[in-house]
Amino acid sequence: MAELLTYPDQRLLQISGLVRHFDDPKIDETIQQMKETMEEHDLSALAAIQIGVPLRVILLKKEDQYMLFINPAIYGKEGKYFPSTESDESLPGAKLTVQRYPVIKIMYQDREGKDQFYRAEGEEAVTLQRKIDMVFGGYLFDKLNKKERKRFFKEHGTYGDTCPSLFVKDKILAALRLFLTLHALAILLSPFVDMAKIVLHYNTLLFVLEFVWVIFYAIYAKYETTKYKNCTSCQGANVFGTSAIYIGVATILYLISWMVR
């Protein structure tokens, strides 16, 4: 028997690859382990990824017989989406409502690698949709909208590799934003208030300061986000884009200050 992985185990949150070599002995070994795990936990269906094997293999127990689906793909469905409230042994304690089809048509391969087709309906269709999502790397929480997903992560914890809620890089950026706002305000007031004229006088110095600030942000952000590879706001392109925008704003302020002067 293999360990039944539960959220937020990183081994569970992998995407499974297509089975390409049907003579690989690992397939039978995996199927055997899946059967044992299903018996032990009294499960009606299991995806290989739930025991940490990233292969597109699903077992469904139907009237004490096991049905094997290798490389399953849903190519058709019947009826309209309906809300289905589900739980899954890999997400203990979670009961989530997602959209499912009442009937699905699956193309898959059998143990010999031959194409087969299957039409599932009712509870079986719902279970298979959930398991097929899993082999494509999708879990119940992936089907929730942003707000509901946030709530799920709050209740069940994130899996460590998502963005932390607060980065130091964001504080550097917030401070720069404030500085640029005050800078812009001072330029606006400069025709009327003598004290504000200082920003025109030292415009080059201010531009250099803001430029260096952005560069410092970019370097620090790159350093800080190295460990968060899976986080969208940590992508190099994002840091680069943000830096470019702020340099653009600083440049505009610099040009305006010359014009006002």
Cα-based angle 79, 97, 130 (whole degrees, multiple of 5): 65
Closer by beta carbon to other proteins, 31 or else 199 = 31
Taking each helix axis as running N to C, give the angle between helix 168-189 and helix 236-260, from 0 to 180 degrees, rounded to the nearest 10. Answer: 20
- CB-nearer residue toward other proteins: 92 or 160: 160
Q: How far is CA 25 from CA 30, 55, 111, 220, in A?
A: 9, 13, 11, 48
Q: How far is the CB of 254 from other proteins (least distance, A)?
A: 22
> Would you say 15 or 255 has its CB closer to other proteins?
15
In angstroms, give the least distance from the CB of 72 to other proteins: 9
Q: How far is the CB of 55 from other proteins (least distance, A)?
A: 8
The dihedral built from the CA positions of residue 67, 73, 78 and 80, taken in this order, carries a sign that is positive
CA 244 to chain centre: 26
- Cβ proximity to other proteins: between 1 and 144 the closer is 144
Residues in touch with other proteins (CB under 8 A):
13-18, 20-22, 54-55, 71, 73-76, 81, 99, 105, 107, 115, 117, 133, 136-138, 141-143, 149, 158-159, 161-163, 229-232, 235, 237
Are the CB atoms for 100 and 140 separated by under 8 Å?
no
Cα dihedral across residues 116, 119, 124, 126: positive or negative: positive
- Min dist CB 11 to other proteins, Å, is 11
The number of helices, as runs of H, and strands, as runs of E, in the chain is 7, 7
Considering the complex, state which of residue 107 and residue 188 has its C-beta at the smaller distance from other proteins. 107
CB of 163 to other proteins, least distance (A): 8
